[in-house]
């Protein structure tokens, strides 16, 4: 299954209110979301049959659509129920879910005021985002050519498909150079995030992470900050310049797919995966497990 193209797999997808065979979940080539980027999505993980922070993901999906000037024609409760329904239909316990909403094919042009809004939700089994053996040692990250845009030029707080164009370009370039990912700066030259994950640094036992004012404030990012504070670990959300990287002891990235992944290098600057990273890795993996009901 892991090597199969996604459009050739077996199974089921929730599509516009109905569960359809996986290979029947199609869109037309003249779909507005494909041509003009009017598409938003989420990435969610299920552990032990329960979707971690489903409500937060669904709320963000609805907000992302609002920022792109369209409304998903399902309530948050309906979307939550649909996510759980497709996970159960697929008979998965540990899986990745991808809700996606887009403008359809009714009009083709920049203006598409009356296009139907579609929603689909797929679920599939997916192992660790990075090679497990390498992940424990810390992944190597390069530097991206492209920068995260000024929020006055793009809806940077939405999880919109179009915003990931430069992420794909940057990740491909990094992989060709032997790196697992790329670190992106923002339009001011400050450290922002990786291509699909937020970044954290550790210095003298305290955490430093870029202020999420020009990129997505990840749900995993928020969870890890909460976990750190529970531990009494100081968290500084602030502007971080690339010349500061050499002053940090540890580095890790976070995301629904990446979870908590140590970093051993950013473009020649080396880090040693250390105690703070390990504590938060362990705490996060404990946090995502389904909570047992009290007897």
Q: Which residues participate in catalysis according to the annotation?
A: 159
Burial of 289 (0-12, 13-18, 19+ CB in 10 A): exposed
In sequence order, which residues have a C-beta less than 8 Å from that of residue 175 and are 6 or more positions away? Answer: none
φ/ψ region of 229 (left if φ > 0, alpha if ψ in -120 to 50, else beta) reads: alpha
In sequence order, which residues have a C-beta less than 8 Å from that of residue 243 and are 6 or more positions away? Answer: none
Q: How many CB atoms lie within 10 A of CB 252?
A: 29
- How far apart are the C-alpha atoms of 120 and 98, rounded to whole Å? 8
Q: For residue 279, what are its two tokens? A: 């504590």
- Which SS3 state, helix, strand or coil, does residue 98 take? strand
């Amino acid at each position: 299954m892991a090597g199969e193209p996604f459009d050739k797999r077996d199974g089921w997808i929730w599509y516009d209110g109905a569960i359809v065979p996986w290979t029947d979940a199609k869109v037309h080539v003249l779909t507005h979301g494909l041509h003009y980027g009017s598409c938003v999505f989420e990435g969610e993980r299920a552990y032990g049959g329960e979707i971690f922070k489903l409500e937060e993901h669904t709320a963000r999906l609805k907000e992302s659509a609002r920022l792109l000037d369209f409304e998903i024609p399902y309530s948050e409760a309906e979307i939550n129920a649909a996510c759980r329904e497709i996970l159960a239909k697929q008979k998965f316990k540990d899986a990745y879910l991808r809700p996606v909403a887009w403008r359809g094919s009714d009009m083709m042009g920049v203006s598409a005021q009356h296009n139907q809004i579609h929603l689909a939700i797929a679920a599939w089994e997916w192992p660790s985002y990075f090679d497990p053996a390498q992940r424990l040692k810390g992944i190597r990250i390069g530097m991206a050519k492209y920068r995260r845009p000024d929020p006055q030029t793009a809806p940077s707080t939405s999880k919109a498909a179009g915003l990931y164009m430069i992420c794909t370009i940057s990740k491909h370039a990094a992989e060709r150079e032997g790196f697992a990912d790329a670190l992106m700066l923002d339009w001011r030259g400050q450290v922002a995030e990786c291509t699909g994950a937020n970044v954290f640094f550790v210095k003298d036992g305290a955490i430093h992470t870029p202020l999420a004012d020009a990129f997505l404030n990840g749900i995993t990012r928020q969870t890890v900050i909460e976990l750190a504070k529970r531990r009494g670990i100081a968290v500084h959300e602030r502007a971080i310049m690339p010349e500061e990287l050499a002053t940090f002891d540890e580095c890790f990235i976070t995301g629904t797919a990446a979870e908590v992944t140590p970093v051993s290098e950013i473009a020649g600057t080396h880090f040693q995966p250390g105690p703070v990273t390990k504590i938060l890795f362990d705490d996060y993996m404990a946090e995502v497990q389904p909570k047992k009901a009290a007897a």
